[in-house]
Amino acid sequence: MEIKHSLKAVVKQTGLSPFLIRAWERRYNAISPSRSSSKRRLYTDEDINRLTLLKKVTQCGENIGNIANLANDDLRKIIGENSIMNNQFPIINEDGKNNLTANDYFSQALDSIQESNFEEFEAKLMEASVALSFPSLLDQVISPLLDKVGTMWQNGELRIADEHRISAIIRSFLGSFVKSDRRSASDRCLVSTTPTGQFHELGALMASLSASVMGWRSIFLGPNLPPEEIAGAVKANNASVLALSMIYPMDDPYLGAELIRIRRLIGDDVQILVGGRAAANYHGFIEDISGIYISNLEEMREHLESSFNQNLSNRNINE
């Protein structure tokens, strides 16, 4: 009888993320796992072998969309050719990792944007997600890409339609991580969103995912919410932190009043972290609500870790 493996076992054996395995199955039909009576995916040894081959070929620089339906022998041939023509592809180390850095993935993704090759852009995001840790993927690839895309749009170097398409690709890419994320049972809860009039949600989504990776129970509400809805979600989930992202517009005359109302509704015990490209423009209002300005995701993670450790220390003292 053929042995079947769970998704968790396949993740451990291949080093691929659950998101990537599902994406290669759904989008590219790279494998076709069976299902258990409870509808869980079950993988064969052959599936694991094929996923391992696909991973190695993508590490050679190949686009998954171009190789997903190749026979295993053809995949092995590409890997073999790469060992000879190592001047044309990234060199694979003995531990199975390539020499591409996060900056390399950023540059390749940016090149695909500038060439209006959006399928290649999506493929580069997937390749980066295989090679990099999730924080590195967010901090060193996606965040600087969003900053660059915003600058290109403001300078007239990028059409509005293309900017929307790029945002949609990143939103779908990150959304898949949300769906595959198993919510933590932690009593640490963070709610993330954008205030009324702020329609760009990707910063809030990345904040939510970053907190989730750290073990927080993270609730992403989407964009453009009024103070009453934000406060309701904070209280319903007993959140200790509210993360607000502000990207555009940079000079909303009503946003200050929105922030003050949010603070009044949620009370003084909830920390408010405010970040995004436009956040610095509202620095005075952030101070008025005793908020904390966050310049990047790494700073947010450091603050969450410090805050948690301080609360833990206070709890131990009280006990």
CA dihedral 32, 96, 123, 175 (to 10 degrees): 70
Q: Is the dihedral of CA 173, 179, 185, 189 positive or negative?
A: positive
Per-residue pLDDT tens over the stretch 89-128: 444 444 445 568 899 999 999 999 999 999 999 989 988 8
Alpha-carbon gap, residue 24 to 22, rounded angstroms: 6
Would you give per-residue pLDDT tens digits along the chain (319 residues)? 567 899 888 988 888 888 788 888 888 899 999 998 888 899 998 999 899 899 888 877 677 888 999 999 888 888 776 544 444 444 444 444 556 889 999 999 999 999 999 999 998 998 888 888 888 899 999 999 999 998 898 888 899 999 999 999 999 889 877 754 444 456 789 999 999 999 999 999 999 999 988 888 999 999 999 999 999 999 999 999 999 999 988 899 999 999 999 999 999 999 999 999 999 999 999 999 999 999 999 999 999 988 766 655 555 445 5
> What is the structure's pLDDT at 247?
92
> What is the structure's pLDDT at 311?
59
The C-alpha angle with vertex 306 and arms to 303 and 312, in degrees rounded to 5, equals 140
> What is the structure's pLDDT at 87?
40
The CB density around residue 318, as the number of other CB atoms within 10 Å, is 6
Domains in the chain and their CATH numbers?
1-92 (1.10.1660.10), 100-180 (1.10.1240.10), 185-318 (3.40.50.280)
Report pTM: 0.69
Per-residue pLDDT tens over the stretch 265-300: 999 999 999 999 999 999 999 999 999 999 999 999
Report residue 151 as tokens. Answer: 């600058």
Q: Is the dihedral of CA 114, 120, 122, 125 positive or negative?
A: negative
For residue 98, give the DSSP letter: B
Distances (CA, A) of 172 to 65, 68, 161, 175: 17, 20, 16, 5
The amino acid sitting at 205 is L
3-state secondary structure of 56: helix
